[in-house]
Amino acid sequence: MSTQNLTNTPAVHNRRGIKEQLTGIPRRRQLIALISPASLWLFFLLILPLATLVMLSFVKTAFGEGSTVLTLEHYRAFLQNTIYQRLLWRSLGIALLVTVLTLLFSYPVAYFMAYFAGERQNLLLTILIIPAWTSFLLRVLAWRLILGSNGLLNTFLMGIGIIQEPITGLFFSTPAVIITLVYIWIPFAVLPIYVSLQRIEGNLFEASADLGARPWQTFWKVIFPLSLPGILAAFLFVFIPTVGEYVTPALVGGPNGLMIGNIIWDQFSRGLDWPMGATLSLMMMLIVIVPLFLSSGLAERLGLTGGGDE
Amino acid sequence: MRNHRFHAVFLLAALIGALLSGCSAGAGTQGIDTPEEPLVILEWTGYEVTEYPQFFEPFSEKYGDQLNKVVSVSVFGDDAEAFSKVQSGFDADIIHPCSSWWGLYVDAGLVQPIDTSRLASWDEIPEVLQKQGEFNGQQYFVPWDWYYEALLVRSDLVPEMPTSWADLWDPQYAGHVSLWDNGEVSFAAAAMAFGLDPWNLTDEEDEFLKQKLIEIKPNLITYWLDYTQAIDLSASGDAWVVASAWQDTYSALADEGYDVTYVEPEEGYLAGVCGYGIGSESTNLDLAYEFLSAAIDKQSMANFSNEYWYGASNAAAAELIDPEAAELLRLNDLDFVLANTEFYQPLTAERRDKLSDMWNEIKAAP
């Protein structure tokens, strides 16, 4: 094969010449053709909507006369309204808790798959992903079978006599939101951690053992630091979508499980107050993105993002 | 109105529309009998002509198997959602809001006047209902159904039957009450409970009711979002008392054999009328009038009443309604109902915004 190729390739040493002759398209246009699908996608589905959101947040109303009047009143309303702020912090708190719990549950699974599953790694991966094929809604509502007032947990507790009456608030509460979200995100967190664990060279373990490290020392001083890029990726995968989550709190949050996403949804879908909804979305983005930028900058300086000198 | 709409939103919609139109062009072929364009209906969940053809009998019989090509139904769970959807540019031919929202549609120019001479059986609708759909001397809405809001109670689960709106605050139902996730309705119910006039609340009274609706939270299991969820909460036994439930939730559960009671609160039923309007952008008028005529046909209305135990705007339907249900809910005595229940009064845009904000604050309160 390779000799065949070699003989067919014209002996031109200039790289540009080869490319041009193979495709007949100048290199510059090749590049444009390659990046245009992604940039069009980004433009229409990210930049344009984001610009719309920013513009919306500065007008008085989305409809009628007020749609041409510029104002800062929505930002003022956000800063003055303690309810919006409280919900925002609450959502960040819930998201942080969900993320930490997800990571705690995911790490052992990823660790097991990477080092102990042997031949069955692929099978385990498939099993892990299968629940993600069912509808998001179904996976949320499935918890009702466990947490509902006639659910498994209540039946079990009543069966062993700990409680006489079923506990009814379980399915409609903030803990239910957290449990459901952790369950949903686990596959998304396991995968990046698993990949980062797999990339660790096997001879590092031997080297560590040779130098007299005990297994737990090997873990904390060798494996864990090398898996940090995966943990960071998993953190972002889980944390960012959870802050703006609104479906799960609407379904299982009960009267007190509201998150900021629900208010934003309400402002757009029922309240007709699009500018306020846009302002809330932007404030949420700002509060999430700024610390993330800072921390990712820090991570890069500490060499935690991977892809460096492995 | 169009000119003032937010330009970037419009631009975005146009761009996405242009992107999507490529996909839909050429999809499906038109039959000879079916109209050029389907009739776009914005409808409450549980009323869809495609699911309940008997509520619009002459129309669904005429189009039969073709019905899915003739109509395109979108559903909503409450009035705020429907109004918001139409206001933000959803061009429906037929819209089905309830009477307190009708004026808002007319003011925003979202509906067009209806030529009642094109409606068969228009004269069978009592004048008192007809008048509710009249604005600035023109008919904008065709009254269709009227309903109660009361307490749907699981008789087998409650320790003691609630008898009034005020009983929703009774701690013996702690963790087993469900309110509708709807500011307008929950404020009306709270006003009834504390002896205030639901339609003329002062700022102090609003604040008082807001505190009361925050105080009720320990009694709540969750807020219900739509008809299906109200039924589900009651059927599962999670909610012993579903507040502001309509007759259809009651009839659906009673038909399934659940031990439910529809309690008329001591302070009285809340009640409302809903009806159909024609979207201001609609050009599919022949089909729209055909649909409306079929809707107010007395047999259609009787089928509807018998299914859901709602009131029918067509008085002539009374003779075809199941006498037992009619007796129980006084479906055949509109005058009595009008005189003895609290009918929803028209909302203003300011009131709608205020209710929406207050309701969000209640739900977000710790």
Nearest to A184 by CA among A136, A115, A150: A136
d(CA B30, CA A106): 53
- Residue pair B134/B125 in contact (Cβ under 8 Å)? The answer is no
| A28 and A109 housed in the same domain | no
Q: Look at residue A1 and tell me whether its pLDDT is greater than 60.
A: no
Domain B33-146+272-335 belongs in CATH node 3.40.50.2300: no
Cα→Cα distances A168→B220, B233, B261, Å: 11, 11, 21
| A23 and A83 housed in the same domain | no
Mean pLDDT of chain A: 85
Instruction: Compare CB distances from B6 to A49, A56, A84 and report the shortest one's residue.
Output: A56
Residue B226: pLDDT band by 50, 70, 90 thresholds? confident
| A103 and A227 housed in the same domain | yes
Give contacts of B16 with chain A, Cβ < 8 Å: 44
Q: Look at residue B336 and tell me whether its pLDDT is greater than 90.
A: no
Return the residue of A nearest to B19 by Cα: A44
**Residue B33: per-residue pLDDT:** 58
d(CA B84, CA B72): 19
d(CA A263, CA A265): 5
Number of helices (H), then strands (E), in chain B: 15, 14
d(CA A308, CA A139): 38
Residue B88: pLDDT band by 50, 70, 90 thresholds? confident
Q: What is the DSSP annotation of A103-144?
A: HHHHHHHHHHHHHT-GGGHHHHHHHHHGGGGS-HHHHHHTHH
Mean pLDDT over residues B293-299, rounded?
93
* 3-state DSSP assignment of residue A83: helix
Instruction: Compare CB distances from A67 to B4, B225, B365 and report the shortest one's residue.
Output: B4
A8-12, B44-48, B234-238, B327-331: lowest mean pLDDT where?
A8-12
- Residue pair B364/B213 in contact (Cβ under 8 Å)? The answer is no
Domain B148-270+346-364 belongs in CATH node 3.40.190.10: yes
Residue B341: pLDDT band by 50, 70, 90 thresholds? confident
DSSP state of A68: G
Q: Look at residue A35 and tell me whether its pLDDT is greater than 80.
A: yes
Give contacts of B221 with chain A, Cβ < 8 Å: 168-169, 172, 254-255
- Residue pair B259/B156 in contact (Cβ under 8 Å)? The answer is yes
**Residue A20: per-residue pLDDT:** 52
Which pTM was predicted?
0.81
A204-218, B48-62, B255-269: lowest mean pLDDT where?
A204-218
d(CA B325, CA B332): 10
Q: Look at residue A261 and tell me whether its pLDDT is greater than 50.
A: yes
**Residue B40: per-residue pLDDT:** 95
| A53 and A92 housed in the same domain | no
**Residue A18: per-residue pLDDT:** 53
**Residue B318: per-residue pLDDT:** 85
Instruction: Compare CB distances from B363 to A55, A64, A258 and report the shortest one's residue.
Output: A258
Return the residue of A nearest to B81 by Cα: A270
Q: Look at residue A270 and tell me whether its pLDDT is greater than 90.
A: no
Mean pLDDT over residues B342-359, rounded?
90
Q: Look at residue B26 and tell me whether its pLDDT is greater than 60.
A: no
> Residue B241 belongs to what H/E stretch?
strand B241-245
Q: Look at residue B295 and tell me whether its pLDDT is greater than 90.
A: yes
Nearest to B87 by CA among B352, B293, B345, B272: B352
Mean pLDDT over residues B301-313, rounded?
91
Residue A21: pLDDT band by 50, 70, 90 thresholds? low
What are the structural domain ranges in chain B?
33-146+272-335, 148-270+346-364
Task: Put residue B92 in one of left, alpha, beta given phi > 0 → left and psi -120 to 50 → alpha.
Answer: beta
Mean pLDDT over residues B151-157, rounded?
94
Mean pLDDT over residues A29-48, rounded?
91
Are B221 and A48 in contact (CB < 8 Å)? Answer: no
Mean pLDDT over residues A2-29, rounded?
57
**Residue B22: per-residue pLDDT:** 40
Cα→Cα distances A242→A190, A305, B143, B316, B335, Å: 16, 22, 44, 54, 53
Q: Strand runs (DSSP E) across B138-229, as ranges? A: 138-139, 142-154, 177-180, 220-224
Give contacts of A69 with chain B, Cβ < 8 Å: none
Determine the residue type at A111. Y
Are A273 and B175 in contact (CB < 8 Å)? Answer: no
> Beta B342-343 vs B270-279: how paired, if at all?
parallel
Residue A97 tokens, joined: 């808790």
CB atoms inside a 10 Å sphere around CB B210: 18
A70 domain-assigned: no
H helices present in B198-263, as ranges:
203-215, 227-235, 247-255
B213-217: which pairs have CB atoms within 8 A and are 24 or more residues apart? B213/B179, B213/B186, B213/B187, B213/B362, B214/B362, B214/B365, B215/B169, B216/B168, B216/B169, B216/B177, B216/B179, B217/A255, B217/A256, B217/B365
d(CA B13, CA B6): 11
Asked whether the ipTM of the predicted complex exceeds the cut of 0.90, the reply is no
d(CA A130, CA A138): 13
Mean pLDDT over residues B75-97, rounded?
92
| A46 and A81 housed in the same domain | no
Cα→Cα distances B363→A94, B131, B179, B217, Å: 17, 36, 11, 9
**Residue A52: per-residue pLDDT:** 93
Helix axes of A73-80 and A82-115: crossing angle, nearest 10 degrees: 80
The highest-confidence range among B137-141, B225-229, B340-344, by mean pLDDT, is B137-141
Mean pLDDT of chain B: 87
A22-36, A202-216, B12-26: lowest mean pLDDT where?
B12-26
d(CA B358, CA B203): 11
**Residue A144: per-residue pLDDT:** 82
**Residue A23: per-residue pLDDT:** 65
Q: Look at residue B241 and tell me whether its pLDDT is greater than 70.
A: yes
> Residue B76 belongs to what H/E stretch?
strand B71-76
Domain count, chain A: 2
Measured in whole angstroms, the distance separating CA A274 from the mean position of its chain's CA atoms is 26
Share above pLDDT 70 across residues of chain B, in percent, rounded to a whole number: 90
- Residue pair B234/B169 in contact (Cβ under 8 Å)? The answer is no
Are A62 and B363 in contact (CB < 8 Å)? Answer: no
| A50 and A137 housed in the same domain | no
Q: Which residue has the tokens 């919006």?
A: A84
d(CA B309, CA B328): 10
Residue A14: pLDDT band by 50, 70, 90 thresholds? low
Residue B20: pLDDT band by 50, 70, 90 thresholds? very low
Residues of the domain holding A6: 1-58
Do the domains spanning B33-146+272-335 and B148-270+346-364 agree at the CATH topology level?
A: yes
Q: Look at residue A4 and tell me whether its pLDDT is greater than 70.
A: no
Mean pLDDT over residues B293-306, rounded?
93
Give contacts of B19 with chain A, Cβ < 8 Å: 44
* 3-state DSSP assignment of residue A199: coil
A101-110, A298-307, B16-25: lowest mean pLDDT where?
B16-25
Residue B67 tokens, joined: 């019905």
**Residue A257: per-residue pLDDT:** 86
Q: Look at residue B283 and tell me whether its pLDDT is greater than 60.
A: yes
d(CA B145, CA B273): 6
Instruction: Compare CB distances from B238 to A51, A67, A168 and report the shortest one's residue.
Output: A168
A39 domain-assigned: yes
Return the residue of A nearest to B219 by Cα: A255
**Residue A149: per-residue pLDDT:** 77
Nearest to B337 by CA among B346, B348, B326: B326
